[in-house]
Amino acid sequence: MIQYTNIKKHLPEYHRYKSLWAYNYCRTIKDTKEVYKYITDSYHAYYYCRFVKDRPNVRKYITTSEDALFYCRDIKDRNSIRKRITKEEHLQWYQEWKAKQC
């Protein structure tokens, strides 16, 4: 396994997978601040909040409309995340889900 925390210089390809590596490391090995700070992809941030721990430091990286919808539906309906649901299709799904909750 590549230890990103020890690498000073590496190829650009490694940057693409750093968030995935950090999520998997936190989920399967050990959840530490030194590692979860590398979770910057919206998809991996959502999964981290869902399966590891819902942390504000990671939650701020949930930026895509679809991931924001899933976060509100599956974890907690937060106003700060709900604002990131921007696509019409996802807004409609959110409204349908919310109508079933009441």
Domain count, the chain: 2
What is the pLDDT at residue 98? 95
How far apart, in whole angstroms, are the C-alpha atoms of residue 81 and residue 68? 6
Residues 11 and 49 in one domain: yes
pLDDT classification of 14: cutoffs 50, 70, 90? low
Task: Report pTM.
Answer: 0.84
How far apart, in whole angstroms, are the C-alpha atoms of residue 59 and residue 55? 6
pLDDT in tens, 46-71: 999 999 999 999 999 999 999 999 99
Residues 49 and 94 in one domain: no
Residues 50 and 78 in one domain: no
pLDDT classification of 16: cutoffs 50, 70, 90? confident
pLDDT in tens, 82-91: 999 999 999 9
Asked whether the beta carbons of 63 and 85 are under 8 A apart, the reply is: no
How far apart, in whole angstroms, are the C-alpha atoms of residue 48 and residue 20? 10
- Domain housing 80: 64-102
pLDDT classification of 15: cutoffs 50, 70, 90? low
Residues 15 and 51 in one domain: yes
